């Protein structure tokens, strides 16, 4: 009944949803050239033959999906893959990273007509949802068409579990549409089962098997030269409230390391001008990447307010603090930094990545700090002991190399459903 009410509301509220999407275009949150895709109108023809559709909500999920796509295409050399995401940054990030026989479309907004348009055109032979973005219309309509559905790297955080527990009928109806739920961790598997998923298993975390973030060779060499001559550290994917703490930390650490340079890569590059102004008001010399401002001998902060270049800075710098963790945003993926050899630090708010946090700490590749002062203390210790930072980075690389077997285990779990889809198509 709850699902039926949701469907009826999405039909009745369609004009308001359309208005909301137009506003998002004007705010730069949607791609105006591809907004039709969000309403279910395709911009590409459906490829001939078997098609697997993977849905990954945003940047982190899309990066996880890339390694699974490679595995599926290696398994079946006639298979085609459609990857959908819902955000502009995710589309930009993967634009040049999809292999042959794979293509990207924006996911349809969860209104009834958009979902119908999308499924009528693409009609995949198998649907794979990555992680935890559950949209009732999209799930239920896919199920009603008889398309097998799998949940891969399924994640239900404690907060999400509490929220979904308030709508037990709806979440149970959605989860029981999945033929198989492969959880990201054992606790996630338990929460999925409690919410109503029937066939739940676990093989490991797909994010641990994701490919390294890309790094342009010429730019990497330039950043490595800059980092080689001065003590440096990186604050990655920062949020409002964290940059001011980073400014205070930088000023305090300069008493011991006069040549210190701090690199900041904000989570939202469009905040670059605002961040630059606040740092300069704090008395710091800032070089901004989007303005092509060079790194000078007196540069305190290098503000890399660009999209898709985080891999350059993880490769070039020895220590990385993961943003969204000093403020209550749930953190960001720390495995990306560990995979490229950084000693990893994060604050107390890593709720979205609690399992990654745990395994990195246990491996000796990362440290958790309770507040900005503790972050300053650990940074001072690691900057004074480069060998310790390098050892943490080495352990992080080793850990992520071990986890690449997760992809193969997932492909093995998915293979029977690919074979069934092929048999049905041939029939």
Q: Give me the DSSP letters along 34-48.
A: GHHHHTT--SSPPPS
Residue linked to tokens 């940054």: 89
37, 61, 131, 242: the catalytic one is 61
**CB of 245 closer than 8 Å to CB of 395:** no
Burial pattern 129-162, b for ≥16 Cβ within 10 A else e, equals bbbbbbbbbbbbbbbeeebbbbbbbbbbbeebbe
Active site annotation includes 242: no
CA pair distance 290, 224, nearest whole angstrom: 19
Task: Give the list of residues 6+ apart from residue 277 with CB closer than 8 angstroms, or none.
Answer: none
Query: Going by C-beta distance under 8 Å and a sequence separation of 6 or more, which residues neighbour residue 378?
Result: 345, 367, 369
Diameter of the chain measured on Cα atoms: 74
What's the CA gap between 265 and 276, in Å, rounded? 12
**How far is residue 235 from each of residues 144, 264, 323, 348, 385, measured CA to CA in Å?**
46, 5, 7, 15, 19
Instruction: For residue 2, give both structure tokens.
Output: 């709850």
The tokens describing 334, both together, are: 């720390």
DSSP-based three-state secondary structure for 360: helix
Distance CA 176, CA 1 (A): 15
Going edge to edge, which strands form the sheet with 232-238? 286-288, 301-303, 261-266, 232-238, 319-322, 343-346, 366-368
CA-nearest of 265, 263, 249, 257 to 231 is 257
- Spatial separation of the C-alpha atoms in residues 213 and 103, rounded to whole Å: 19
Q: Which of 298, 305, 373, 307 is nearest to 88 (CA)?
A: 307
Q: Which residues are catalytic?
A: 61
């Amino acid at each position: 009944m709850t699902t039926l009410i949701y469907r009826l509301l999405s039909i009745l509220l369609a004009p308001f949803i359309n208005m909301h999407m137009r506003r998002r275009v004007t705010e730069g949150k949607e791609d105006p050239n591809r907004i039709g895709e969000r309403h279910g109108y395709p911009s590409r023809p459906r490829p001939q033959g078997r098609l697997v559709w993977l849905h990954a909500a945003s940047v982190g999920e899309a990066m996880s999906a890339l390694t699974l796509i490679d595995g599926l295409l290696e398994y079946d050399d006639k298979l085609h893959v459609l990857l959908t995401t819902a955000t502009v940054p995710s589309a930009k990030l993967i634009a040049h990273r999809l292999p042959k026989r794979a293509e990207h479309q924006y996911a349809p907004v969860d209104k009834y007509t958009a979902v119908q348009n999308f499924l009528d055109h693409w009609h995949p032979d198998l649907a794979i949802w990555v992680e935890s973005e559950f949209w009732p219309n999209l799930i239920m309509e896919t199920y009603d068409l008889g398309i097998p559905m799998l949940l891969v790297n399924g994640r239900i955080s404690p907060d999400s579990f509490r929220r979904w527990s308030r709508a037990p009928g709806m979440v149970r109806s959605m989860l029981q549409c999945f033929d198989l739920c492969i959880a990201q961790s054992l606790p996630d598997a338990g929460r999925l089962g409690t919410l109503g998923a029937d066939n739940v298993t676990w093989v490991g975390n797909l994010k641990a098997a994701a490919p390294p973030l890309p790094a342009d060779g010429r730019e990497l060499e330039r950043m490595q030269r800059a980092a080689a001559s001065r003590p440096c550290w990186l604050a990655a994917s920062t949020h409002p409230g964290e940059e001011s703490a980073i400014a205070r930390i930088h000023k305090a650490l300069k008493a011991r390391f006069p040549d210190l340079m701090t690199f900041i890569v904000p989570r939202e590059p469009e905040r670059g001008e605002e961040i630059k102004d606040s740092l300069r008001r704090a008395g710091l010399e800032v070089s901004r990447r989007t303005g092509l401002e060079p790194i000078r001998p007196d540069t305190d902060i290098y503000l890399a307010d660009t999209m898709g270049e985080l891999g350059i800075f993880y490769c070039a710098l020895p220590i990385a603090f993961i943003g969204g963790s000093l403020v209550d945003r749930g953190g960001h993926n720390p495995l990306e930094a560990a995979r490229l050899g950084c000693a990893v630090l994060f604050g107390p708010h890593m709720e979205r990545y609690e399992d990654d946090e745990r395994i990195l700490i246990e491996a000796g590749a990362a440290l958790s700090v309770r507040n900005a002062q503790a972050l300053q203390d650990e940074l001072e210790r690691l900057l004074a002991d480069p060998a310790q930072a390098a050892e943490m980075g080495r352990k992080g690389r080793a850990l992520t190399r071990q986890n690449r077997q997760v992809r193969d285990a997932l492909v093995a779990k998915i293979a029977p459903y690919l074979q069934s889809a092929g048999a049905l198509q041939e029939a």
